[in-house]
């Protein structure tokens, strides 16, 4: 079996022009970053995975965990990762798990290339060739609550091509009155024939979240994402019991135990593991099994660059539809951020833009992507 000969990190950074800064209820973002872990086997096969978080932090953790994997079989990831996690118990979670997540996906990418099969065949199969998706847009901009903010929201929503997207998610969470204004505007522009989701990014307490959810209920909201900080398990239980809108969360969680606690508590309707943060494809599969055992829906959070998106595509393609058979009320959708993102669109040779009906899974073994180093170099982060 091929062994891992080398592990490197490629840190990508893109400074967003001030006029294109995108934000959430927690503030504006002026940079995009992507930490790619590159593994090379003794046979010269390379694999790539993407970890979520500040690139310097992920790179530092990758450097610390390299010795646990270098020289081991490509297929020993679970054994080595479990030992690494247990041995470095006091490192905690967070960006440590992001580093392991990226390494996990990179191993699957290299396995697929070694065996000449796509990643989805290694993790469960392929239910479809094209994954339907929803557009993440409607970001909070520097205008905030003002008329300028609503004008910028209208401009963002006007760019949504409804033939390519089965749903749209917008940012809310400034305050309940602003939430109503933003949702009302979204429905006016998008119409009533598309799924509409909202994302608070954990900016509320239970009482404020409940006030907001009751106010926006008439606008047929498919789910409210992260109404509370993810650590507030008891708050999620209370909110879900009283909310007129389904509750989704999980992007901020970074281990299987946290997902199990939240899911077992019945404080959630839709579980959202982020492959680049929760432990990779292996952990996401375990989280999906826990959700299935609790009869809870799964909708992976997909963020970052090209390799994070590709991992999400393969994962959703491999997911069984539980508990449905011939009739699926709400198919799983791929999250697709439609803001300016050259770390997705300009660093690989393949195109990952939605067509009518969704995003096609790239052809080829592994994740099906080819890193274009010449184009990627202009985004290399400074040390």
pLDDT at 355 over 70: yes
- Residue 305 in domain: yes
Q: Are 190 and 277 part of one and the same domain?
A: yes
- Residue 147 in domain: yes
- Residue 367 in domain: no
User: Per-residue pLDDT tens for 37-79?
Assistant: 999 999 999 999 999 999 999 999 999 999 999 999 999 999 9
- Residue 191 in domain: yes
Whole-angstrom CA distances from 119 to 21, 127, 318 are 34, 13, 9
H or E, element range at 202: none
pLDDT of residue 363: 87
CA 82, 88, 90, 96 torsion: positive or negative? negative
What whole-number distance in Å separates Cα of residue 195 and Cα of residue 166? 7
- Residue 11 in domain: yes
Is 30 within 8 Å of 15 (Cβ atoms)? yes
Is 367 within 8 Å of 119 (Cβ atoms)? yes
As a whole number, mean pLDDT of residues 317-342 equals 94
User: Per-residue pLDDT tens for 206-229?
Assistant: 999 999 999 999 999 999 999 999
Q: Are 73 and 112 part of one and the same domain?
A: yes
What whole-number distance in Å separates Cα of residue 67 and Cα of residue 81? 11
In sequence order, which residues have a C-beta less than 8 Å from that of residue 310 and are 6 or more positions away?
A: 352, 362, 367, 368, 369
**In the chain, pLDDT over 90 holds for what percent of residues?**
92
pLDDT of residue 149: 84
- Residue 128: exposed, middle, or buried by beta-carbon count in 10 A (0-12, 13-18, 19+)? middle
As a whole number, mean pLDDT of residues 258-266 equals 95
Q: Are 188 and 278 part of one and the same domain?
A: yes
Tally of domains in the chain: 2
Is 59 within 8 Å of 37 (Cβ atoms)? no
Q: Are 274 and 203 part of one and the same domain?
A: yes
Q: Are 22 and 103 part of one and the same domain?
A: yes
pLDDT at 337 over 90: yes
Q: How confident is the model at residue 21 (pLDDT cuts 50, 70, 90)?
A: confident
User: Per-residue pLDDT tens for 274-311?
Assistant: 999 999 999 999 999 999 999 999 999 999 999 999 99
- Residue 365 in domain: no
Q: What range defines the domain where residue 33 resides?
A: 4-116+372-379
In sequence order, which residues have a C-beta less than 8 Å from that of residue 286 and are 6 or more positions away?
A: 256, 279
pLDDT at 110 over 70: yes
Helix, strand counts (H, E) of the chain: 14, 15
pLDDT at 147 over 90: no
- Residue 94 in domain: yes
- Residue 274 in domain: yes
As a whole number, mean pLDDT of residues 108-127 equals 97
Q: Are 189 and 311 part of one and the same domain?
A: yes
Q: Are 129 and 15 part of one and the same domain?
A: no
Q: Are 142 and 65 part of one and the same domain?
A: no
Q: Are 217 and 147 part of one and the same domain?
A: yes
Q: Are 330 and 215 part of one and the same domain?
A: yes
pLDDT of residue 383: 62
Q: Are 178 and 98 part of one and the same domain?
A: no
pLDDT of residue 275: 98
Q: What is the CATH number of the domain that holds 12?
A: 3.30.390.10
Q: Rg for the chain (alpha carbons), in Å?
A: 20
As a whole number, mean pLDDT of residues 127-156 equals 90
Neighbouring C-beta atoms of residue 199, cutoff 10 Å: 25
What whole-number distance in Å separates Cα of residue 281 and Cα of residue 273? 10
Which range has the worst mean pLDDT, 24-28, 144-148, 269-273, 355-359?
144-148
Q: Are 91 and 64 part of one and the same domain?
A: yes
């Amino acid at each position: 079996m091929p062994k891992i000969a080398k592990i490197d990190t490629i840190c990508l950074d893109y400074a967003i022009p001030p006029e294109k800064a995108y934000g959430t209820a927690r503030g504006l973002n002026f940079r995009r970053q992507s930490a790619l872990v590159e593994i090379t086997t003794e046979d010269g096969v390379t694999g790539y995975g993407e970890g979520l978080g500040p690139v310097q932090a992920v790179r530092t953790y990758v450097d610390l965990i390299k010795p646990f994997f270098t020289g081991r079989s490509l297929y020993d990831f679970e054994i080595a990762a479990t030992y690494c996690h247990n041995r470095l118990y006091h490192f905690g979670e967070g960006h440590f798990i992001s580093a392991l997540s990226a390494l996990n996906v990179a191993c699957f990418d290299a396995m697929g290339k070694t065996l000449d099969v796509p990643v989805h065949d290694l993790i469960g199969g392929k239910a479809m060739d094209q994954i339907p998706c929803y557009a993440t847009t409607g970001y909070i901009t520097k205008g905030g609550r003002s008329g300028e903010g609503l004008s910028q929201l209208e401009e963002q929503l006007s760019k949504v091509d409804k033939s390519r997207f089965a749903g749209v998610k917008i940012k809310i969470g400034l305050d309940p009155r602003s939430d109503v204004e933003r949702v009302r505007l979204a429905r006016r522009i998008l119409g009533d024939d598309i799924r509409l989701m909202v994302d608070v990014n954990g900016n509320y307490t239970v009482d404020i979240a409940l006030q907001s959810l009751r106010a926006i209920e008439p606008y047929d909201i498919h789910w409210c994402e992260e109404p509370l900080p993810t650590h507030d398990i008891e708050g999620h239980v209370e909110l879900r019991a009283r909310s007129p809108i389904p509750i989704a969360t999980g992007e901020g969680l970074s281990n299987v135990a946290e997902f199990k606690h939240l899911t077992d508590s019945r404080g959630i309707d839709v579980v959202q593991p982020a492959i680049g943060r929760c432990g990779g494809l292996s952990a996401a599969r375990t989280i999906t099994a826990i959700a299935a055992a609790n009869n809870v829906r799964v909708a992976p959070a997909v963020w970052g660059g090209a390799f994070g998106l590709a991992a999400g595509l393969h994962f959703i393609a491999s997911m069984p539809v539980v508990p449905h058979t011939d009739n699926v009320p709400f198919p799983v959708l791929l999250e697709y951020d439609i803001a300016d993102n050259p770390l997705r669109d300009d660093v690989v040779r393949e195109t990952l833009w939605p067509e009518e009906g969704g995003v096609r899974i790239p052809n080829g073994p592994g994740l099906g992507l080819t890193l274009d180093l010449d184009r990627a170099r202009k985004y290399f982060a400074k040390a």
